[in-house]
């Protein structure tokens, strides 16, 4: 099969600030495969906070290293392709490049069989839950404005508020209070109260996590994501039996092999295609997590509708979803999954069901 890559830029409607910094856009990489007259598309988006930070330039270089292994195979041979590229680079090296390639393979297979990917996997779209829409770290007045805009513009039923501010826990409390207040102010216009989740992106220590969990639980927050920084996983045992809210791990878990050591101390994991290497490894992670009694969430990086739609194809397997990056792009260069009453739902087009605008 033939491999083609193309860099492209995306801009965010609103800059997104988390504990590690601020993003206004990104350079992504389009990964295209062609075989027997059928074209499959995949996307790489930059990653940070996981095992290795990855740029579009790094991804393009990795795909060039892997090109001989890719172009001597067919899309039906993913296991062989993956084994060959693992001989060159481990699963932790350029996983977003691997994700773009794997997406393109699934897109190709769906098109070759005239079926959407979710049909190939036998999944039920009625099981797809509402997705969270993310609110970044900002001054309380800006948070109130953003929350009102999101709820009125999108009808989102779930909001994820980024905390872990460098300015400390009091600032985090003011941010969350502002988000709650904004949701209450628009209640009469939208007719519902959204659920709230919190993501600290590793911005807290153990005492801060326990204190914030108590405070957040009193205000109806459902769970906390990645309170402790990657590399400090040993500290999670100190939260067990003491934390007032369930804890999900994101940056600390990249692939299936990372799950067992941390499983006794967490309630769930956040799977990101860019972090794990694509749909195929995401399915491995789901099986491993379920075997350990963990809940499943999907998240995203700075991705267009191409990658979001790829994740949506396996969304019926998730308990929680955070597939919203495409909603904050201006413009989104791809079309794909549909926004339906706060849910991201694949269409019935063969493959991933995506198209360039």
Q: Which CATH class is domain 2-114?
A: alpha beta
Nearest to 56 by CA among 25, 85, 88, 94: 94
Q: What are phi and psi of 222, to 5 degrees?
A: -85, -40
Secondary structure (DSSP) of 263-282 = GGG-SEEEE-HHHHTSHHHH
pLDDT tens digits along 302-347 = 999 999 999 999 999 999 999 999 999 999 999 999 999 999 999 9
Per-residue CA distances from 198 to 20, 133, 164, 357 (Å): 15, 11, 9, 33
Q: Where do the domains of the chain lie?
A: 2-114, 119-356
SS3 of residue 134 by DSSP: strand
Residue 254: what pLDDT? 96
Chunked into runs of 10 residues, the chain (357 residues) has average pLDDT values of 98 88 94 98 90 91 98 98 97 97 98 98 98 97 97 97 97 98 98 98 98 98 97 97 98 97 98 98 98 98 97 98 96 97 97 97
In this prediction, residue 50 carries a pLDDT of 67
Residue 48 has a pLDDT of 82
Q: 27-76: per-residue pLDDT in tens? A: 999 999 999 999 999 999 999 876 678 999 999 999 999 999 999 999 99
User: How far, rounded to the nearest angstrom, does the alpha carbon of residue 322 sit from its chain's CA centroid?
Assistant: 6
Could you give the C-alpha distances from 97 to 128, 166, 183, in angstroms and in order? 27, 31, 38
- Cα-based distances in Å from 245 to 22, 137, 179, 240, 248: 27, 21, 19, 10, 10
CATH code for the part of the protein at 119-356: 3.20.20.120
pTM tops 0.95 = yes
Burial (Cβ within 10 Å: 0-12, 13-18, ≥19) of residue 295: middle
Please tell me the predicted confidence (pLDDT) of residue 52. 73
The answer to whether 271 touches 282, Cβ cutoff 8 Å, is: yes
What SS3 string covers 34-59?
A: EECCEEEEEEECCECCCCCCECHHHH
């Amino acid at each position: 099969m033939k491999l083609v890559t193309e860099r492209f830029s995306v801009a965010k409607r609103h800059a997104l600030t988390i504990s590690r910094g601020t993003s206004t856009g990104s350079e992504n990489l389009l990964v295209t495969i062609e075989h027997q007259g059928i074209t499959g598309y995949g996307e790489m988006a930059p990653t940070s906070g996981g095992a290795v930070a990855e740029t579009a330039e790094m991804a393009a270089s990795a795909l060039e290293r892997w090109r001989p292994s890719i172009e001597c195979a067919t899309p039906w041979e993913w296991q062989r392709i993956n084994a060959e590229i693992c001989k060159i680079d481990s699963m932790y090296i350029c996983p977003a490049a691997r994700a773009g390639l794997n997406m393109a393979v699934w897109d190709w297979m769906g098109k070759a069989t005239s079926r959407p990917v979710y049909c190939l996997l036998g999944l039920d779209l009625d099981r797809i839950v509402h997705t969270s829409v993310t609110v970044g770290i900002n001054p309380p007045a800006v948070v109130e404005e953003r929350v009102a805009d999101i709820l009125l513009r999108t009808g989102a039923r779930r909001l994820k508020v980024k905390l872990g501010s460098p300015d400390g826990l009091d600032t985090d409390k003011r941010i969350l209070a502002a988000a709650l207040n904004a949701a209450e102010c628009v209640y009469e216009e939208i007719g519902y109260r959204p659920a709230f989740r919190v993501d600290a992106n590793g911005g807290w220590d153990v005492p801060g996590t326990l204190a914030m969990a108590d405070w957040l639980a009193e205000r109806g927050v459902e769970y906390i994501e990645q309170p402790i920084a990657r590399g400090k996983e040993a500290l999670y045992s100190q939260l067990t039996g003491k934390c007032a809210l369930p804890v999900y791990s994101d940056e600390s878990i990249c692939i299936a092999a990372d799950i067992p050591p941390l499983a006794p101390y967490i309630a769930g994991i956040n799977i990101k295609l860019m972090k794990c290497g694509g749909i195929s490894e995401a399915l491995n992670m789901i099986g491993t997590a379920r075997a350990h009694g963990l809940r499943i969430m999907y998240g995203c990086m700075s991705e267009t509708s191409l990658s979001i739609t790829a994740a949506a194809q396996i969304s019926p397997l998730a308990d929680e979803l955070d597939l919203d990056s495409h909603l904050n792009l201006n413009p989104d260069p791809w079309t794909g999954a549909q926004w339906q009453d706060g849910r991201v739902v694949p269409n019935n087009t063969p493959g991933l069901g995506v198209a360039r605008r």
